[in-house]
Every structure is written in C-alpha cells, then in structure tokens.
C-alpha cells in the first residue's frame, strides 16, 4: 500500500547497543552533530560547545513542560491488574492508554479511596472519570504513579525516585507531559550561562508531550495529515519578545520538535505568533513551509516516527538519512537519552 511504502522510506537499521539507556553525565557532555544546510558541512563536538556554532544573537526557545509519573496500576472488578497511562484531561475525564481492553461502565480501583469509572473511548484511548475529586489525580500520580519511560530503555539505571529527576529537563516547570522533551535534557546551568555570555537569549513555552509526539504514525494519520492533539501555551511576554526578534531577523532556534510544532502551529501566514495557546495536531512532513523557526536542536529519533519526518522536512529525507548513517557510523547514542544534533 501507498502508506506502507511511505513509512518504509523512514526506516533505518541501527545496533541496539547505540540506544542510550541513561543520560550523559554531566548532561552537557553528550555529543553533538552540527549540520549546516547551506554549506552542507558536518562537524562533531560536545553539547557544552553549542554556543560556538550558533549564529550571533540567536534566540533559543525551550519547552518547560514537566513529566508526570503518569503510569498507574489499577485493579478491575474481577481482580485482574491493568496498567493505564494518563495522557490528558478532557471534559469527560482523563484520556488513558491501557494495556488491557476496558469496558464502558467498568470500575477500576487503586485503593478504597481512589476509583475510576470507564465512561468512553476515542480511537485507541479510553476515557476514565475519577470517582473522587478530579483535582486530586495529579496528587495520586505523584504518590503512586511511575515514570513512563520509552520501551527501548530496557533496564533503567535508576530507581523511580532518581528516574523522576533524570527524565526531566532543567527547564521543567509545568506538569502535564507523559514523555520528556528530550532535546532539552542536554542543557545544564553552566551551558545556559555560556549562552547568555555569548549574547544569546533563552525563552520558554509549554507543550505537553502526548501521543502526537511519541505514538507510532498510523496509516490513517498519513491519509489525514494530522497527529493526535497536544496542548501548548506561549506567554504574551514570550510572544512579544519572539515576534520582535523575528522582525529584527534574529535566528529562532527551537530546542526539540515540541517547541518547533508549538511555534509553527501558533504563527500566522506572516510569521507572527497570534493565538498563544490551544491544541495542535500539526503533522510536519517534507514539503512543509516553515514560517517561524530557523534552526533546530534535536535528538536522533526512532525509525518511521513523526519526529523523524519533521526533521526531514527541515533538511530532506535523503540528507537526514545520510546524517543518521554517519551518526551511527560514528557511534552516536540514539533516542531519548542519546546524543544531539544541531541543524543550522
């Protein structure tokens, strides 16, 4: 089928030992591949040297979302266990992924004080409503939940307490994500200070990472041209600063695909940020015309993912394939805890 052929174009082979199982220590010691699109030149360095490669007076935009320990083990009425991953809150309740089939009207129990009722289903997501104060769900997750790390991290090097720190960026502030904006994991206090000394500015926005970022691309999404919706928000102060920076022709550097999608979703046809918050289902692929972002800092993404397709829209599928093969040859670490790439 046409969709299968399309997905196959974004496949690549890699040795499993290159999948990073923990972040670099210190984080800014992660390796960095720098690619200049105009000159078609590649350089290798470490992340702490990022400031050397950025254009003068760059504006670096990061995602300050915070990962929630969103995986919870509940019991069905039959006594069987079920793992649910809390994705996002909706008007009817919470949208969750479940490792077991659920039925409408079914009650799921954590303990005598915390129960959930299955009230609906939307595609692969079930909707469950807490039978206690809904504002208490975050408290329940903080106390009983576990961090939803990707399945390719087979043997986490840390216990849950440490993992909650390691799978979080230095910018993390606003709770709401079920996966980390991993390009931000390389940043440290000393790197942020270096960037400031070199005349670069760092600004923050929020996009809560959900299915639109980490879920596998489906054939239906390819046909539709949209992803699962994710909530984003840009403060008026940040929007004013970024719009002025754009007018002044300062380079806008998105740290991660989540930041890029938020900025591109919010910008109008003239390249100005307007709405400042909402839900985005923007699916960026080859042929997309970028309106706001100039450059991208990103990790190396899994095959056939929407993230890899987005990066290919910035570079081209052929070029990104060459860069990935080069990175693998140079033994760069891959995926969430892996090394980074700067695309100029």
Nearest to 12 by CA among 330, 218, 300: 300
Contact 48, 24 (CB under 8 A): no
Domains and CATH numbers, the chain: 2-67+165-343 (3.40.1780.10), 71-144 (2.40.10.240)
Contact 182, 30 (CB under 8 A): no
Say what the pTM is: 0.96
Nearest to 128 by CA among 169, 97, 168: 97
Q: How many helices (H) does the chain have, and how many strands (E)?
A: 11, 17
One digit per residue, the tens of pLDDT, for the chain of length 344 reads 689 999 999 999 999 999 999 999 999 999 999 999 999 999 999 999 999 999 999 999 999 999 999 999 999 999 999 999 999 998 899 999 999 999 999 999 999 999 999 999 988 899 999 999 867 899 999 999 999 999 999 877 789 999 999 999 999 999 999 999 999 999 999 999 999 999 999 999 999 999 988 888 999 999 999 999 999 999 999 999 999 999 999 999 999 999 999 999 999 999 999 999 999 999 999 999 999 999 999 999 999 999 999 999 999 999 999 999 999 999 999 999 999 999 99
Measure the CA–CA gap between 19 and 194, rounded to whole angstroms.
29
Q: List, in order, residues 6 or more apart from 209 with CB less than 8 Å away.
A: 63, 65, 67, 177, 178, 179, 180, 181, 230, 258
């Amino acid at each position: 089928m046409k969709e299968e052929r399309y997905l196959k174009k974004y496949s690549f082979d890699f040795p499993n030992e290159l999948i990073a199982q923990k972040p670099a220590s210190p984080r800014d010691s992660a390796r960095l591949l720098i690619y200049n699109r105009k000159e078609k030149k590649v350089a290798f360095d470490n992340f702490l040297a990022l400031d050397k490669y950025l254009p003068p007076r760059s504006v670096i935009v990061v995602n300050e979302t915070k990962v929630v320990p969103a995986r919870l083990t509940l019991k069905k009425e039959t006594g069987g266990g079920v793992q649910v991953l809390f994705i996002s809150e909706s008007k009817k309740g919470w949208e969750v992924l479940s490792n077991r089939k659920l039925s409408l009207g079914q009650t799921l129990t954590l303990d005598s004080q915390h129960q959930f009722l299955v009230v609906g289903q939307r595609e692969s997501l079930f909707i469950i409503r807490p039978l206690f104060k809904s504002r208490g769900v975050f408290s329940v997750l903080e106390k009983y939940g576990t961090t939803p790390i990707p399945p390719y991290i087979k043997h986490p090097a840390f216990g849950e307490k440490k993992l909650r720190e390691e799978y979080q960026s230095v910018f993390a502030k606003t709770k709401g994500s079920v996966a980390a904006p991993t390009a931000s994991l390389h940043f440290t206090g000393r790197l942020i200070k270096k960037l400031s000394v070199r005349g670069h500015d760092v600004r923050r926005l929020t996009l809560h990472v959900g299915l639109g970022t980490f879920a596998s691309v489906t054939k239906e999404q390819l046909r539709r041209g949209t992803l699962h919706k994710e909530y984003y928000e840009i403060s008026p102060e940040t929007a004013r600063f970024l719009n002025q920076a754009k007018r002044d022709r300062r380079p806008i550097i998105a740290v991660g695909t989540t930041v890029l999608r938020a900025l591109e979703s919010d910008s109008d046809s003239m390249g100005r940020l307007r709405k400042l918050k909402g839900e985005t289902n923007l699916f960026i692929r080859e042929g997309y015309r970028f309106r706001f972002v100039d450059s991208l800092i990103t990790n190396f993404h899994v095959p056939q993912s929407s993230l890899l397709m987005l990066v290919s829209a910035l570079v081209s599928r052929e070029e990104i394939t060459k860069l990935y093969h080069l990175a693998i040859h140079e033994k760069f670490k891959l995926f969430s805890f892996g090394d980074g790439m700067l695309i100029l």
